[in-house]
């Protein structure tokens, strides 16, 4: 039986979700985007099956409606939903990075008999827009659902069954739990990365060569500071209470570290780094987390002409696609000078095997 899925918002997430769901031949994707050119592009490159020119009219045919829009826009549209002619059994969901505010608005929908199940696919990319959409974006990523506590298992299972084809790991959590956890591992790290870049900018005024030295580990550490400022403005405001709590905890941690440095006890300082290393090394490396994964591979290559093209040639011969490649000049805090990025852990694993079969170069996964 065909399911009509109406996706509103055809950026990276909405477009990738459309491509993922189209793996199921019984799913028809109807798409809408406020940007007319994006909508035309989505149809031209077969991200969607049908263009929606009117939100209300297209919603009448949908079995599932997905708001893949910024949270503020999702909330605005949710308030309009009761005016639309919807199917009795329609399921409404979203892809927003914060959930408490959305679920508050969803209460009024529930009171009017409309099923809303919050959603958040925890994946992304350094690229944006519908043309960057990929059907594999959600593979091995966590896809968090935040249904109401008294939502029927049957309704939730319908959405879970639909999402199975994305190959994501679907997990149910509460809205408050969601916002707290994502604050810890996603939203707050963005604040830290931004603050580190601000500190670099300040120091660079007095020591202009500082920015050149930041081309290595510092650049990788602060990668997320390059994210869309408008998106992160909204996320920060929507989850500001959790972030305020995290900032207080971070301040306490920095005071603790400052005291360690003041007392200069070598064993205590070493233990501090030992604990951090153990916790970091125990983090999973085969799944995507709250922030988008880049699947980097570090290759310790010798310095001779043609070595880069040699490696990329081996990868091309084995049909292994790369998404980015860069040479890092500052080597003190990283493993190698060549960093190759891949679309998935599977591609990276193939690359490790390929390089091992053709060279004696050492490879590392950070």
Rounded CA gap, 203 and 209, in Å? 10
> Of the residues 173, 188, 207, which one is the last residue of a structural domain?
173
Give me the pLDDT at residue 219, please. 80
Q: How many CB atoms lie within 10 A of CB 71?
A: 22
Same domain, yes or no, for 252 and 122?
Answer: no
Enumerate residues 6+ apart whose C-beta is below 8 A from 276.
Answer: none
Q: 169 with 183, same domain?
A: no
Are residue 56 and residue 115 in the same domain, yes or no? Answer: yes
pLDDT digits (tens, 9 = 90+) for 27-68: 999 999 999 999 999 999 999 999 999 999 999 999 999 999
| Residues with Cβ within 8 Å of residue 209, at least 6 apart in sequence | none
Q: Residue 56 falls within a domain, yes or no?
A: yes
Longest dimension (CA), the chain: 69
Given a cut of 50, the residues of the chain with pLDDT beneath it are 330-335
Indicate whether 161 and 45 sit together in one domain. Answer: yes
Same domain flag for 237 and 315: no
- pTM confidence score: 0.77
Q: Tell whether 34 and 144 lie within a shared domain.
A: yes
Q: CB under 8 Å to 153, separation ≥6 — which residues?
A: none
Residue that finishes a domain, picked among 173, 200, 217:
173
What domain range includes position 308? 296-364
Question: Domain with 221 in it: what CATH number?
Answer: 1.10.3660.10
Residue 143, Ramachandran bin (φ over 0: left; ψ between -120 and 50: alpha; else beta): beta
Here the CATH number for the domain that contains residue 154 is: 3.40.50.720
Q: What is the pLDDT of residue 286?
A: 56
Residues 322 and 195 both lie in one domain: no
Same domain, 153 and 45: yes
Residue 128: how many CA atoms within 13 Å on its side-chain side? 5
Q: What is the pLDDT of residue 198?
A: 94
Domain count, the chain: 3
Structural domain ending residue among the three candidates 173, 204, 220: 173
pLDDT tens sequence across 77-119: 999 999 999 999 999 999 999 999 999 999 999 999 999 999 9
């Amino acid at each position: 039986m065909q399911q009509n899925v109406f996706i509103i918002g055809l950026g990276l997430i909405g477009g990738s979700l459309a491509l993922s769901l189209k793996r199921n031949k019984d799913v028809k994707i109807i798409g809408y985007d406020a940007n007319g050119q994006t909508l035309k592009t989505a149809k031209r490159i077969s991200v969607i099956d049908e263009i929606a020119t009117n939100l209300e009219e297209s919603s009448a045919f949908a079995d599932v409606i997905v708001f893949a829009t910024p949270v503020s826009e999702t909330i605005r549209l949710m308030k309009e939903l009761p005016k639309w002619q919807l199917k009795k059994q329609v399921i409404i969901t979203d892809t927003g990075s914060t959930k408490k505010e959305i679920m508050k608005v969803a209460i009024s929908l529930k009171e009017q008999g409309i099923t809303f199940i919050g959603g958040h696919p925890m994946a992304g990319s350094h690229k944006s827009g519908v043309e960057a959409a990929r059907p594999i974006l959600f593979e091995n990523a966590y896809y968090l659902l935040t249904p109401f506590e008294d939502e029927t298992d049957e309704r939730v299972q319908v959405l879970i069954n639909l999402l199975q084809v994305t190959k994501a790991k679907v997990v149910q959590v509460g809205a408050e739990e969601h916002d707290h956890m994502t604050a810890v591992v996603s939203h707050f790290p963005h604040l830290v990365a931004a603050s580190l870049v601000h500190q670099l900018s300040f120091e660079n005024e007095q020591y202009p060569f500082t920015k050149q030295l930041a081309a290595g580990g510092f650049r990788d550490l602060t990668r997320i500071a390059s994210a869309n400022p408008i998106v992160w403005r909204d996320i920060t405001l929507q989850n500001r209470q959790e972030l305020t709590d995290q900032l207080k905890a971070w301040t306490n941690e920095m005071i603790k570290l400052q005291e360690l440095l003041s007392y200069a006890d070598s064993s205590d300082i070493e233990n501090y780094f030992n604990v951090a290393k153990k916790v970091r090394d125990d983090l999973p490396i085969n799944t995507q987390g709250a922030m988008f994964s880049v699947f980097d591979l570090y290759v310790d290559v010798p310095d001779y002409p043609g070595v880069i093209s040699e490696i990329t040639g081996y990868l091309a011969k084995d049909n292994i696609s790369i998404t980015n490649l860069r040479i890092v000049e500052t080597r003190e805090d990283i493993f190698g000078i060549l960093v190759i990025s891949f679309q998935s852990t599977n591609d990276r694993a193939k690359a490790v095997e390929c390089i091992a079969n053709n060279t004696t170069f050492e490879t590392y996964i950070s």
